[in-house]
Amino acid sequence: ADGKWEFTPTTPLNNGDHAFTTEVLDKAGNSSGQGDALNVVVDTSKVDVSITHVIDDVGSIKGDIAANGVTDDARPEIQGKGKA
């Protein structure tokens, strides 16, 4: 109703080029036609991604959050390393 939307693929995207388009349909079935493509390249080769710290700096629980730990921070800081 407010024009917002999101998309999550049902299966992971393979490496390579992907093109996504949108089409708006109203309740009567009228189409806007397909919008311009959004081109995305997935490249997981030689990707070394790691999360080194998750930090809580709000509320009564503060500091590094241990694996399987708890937090009272709605937006903890995530620190890590990844491909440039």
What's the pTM?
0.47
Greatest Cα pair distance in the chain: 54
Q: What pLDDT is attached to residue 74?
A: 92
Q: What is the pLDDT of residues 52-81, one digit of tens each?
A: 999 999 999 899 999 899 999 999 999 998
Q: What pLDDT is attached to residue 75?
A: 92
Q: Tell me how far apart the alpha carbons of residues 81 and 75 are, in angstroms, rounded to a whole number.
A: 19
Asked if residue 3 has pLDDT above 90, the reply is: no
Following CA atoms 15, 4, 29, 31 in sequence, which dihedral angle do they give, to the nearest 10 degrees?
Answer: -60
SS3 (DSSP) at 16: strand
Q: What is the pLDDT of residues 24-49, one digit of tens each?
A: 888 899 999 999 999 999 988 877 88
Asked if residue 8 has pLDDT above 80, the reply is: yes
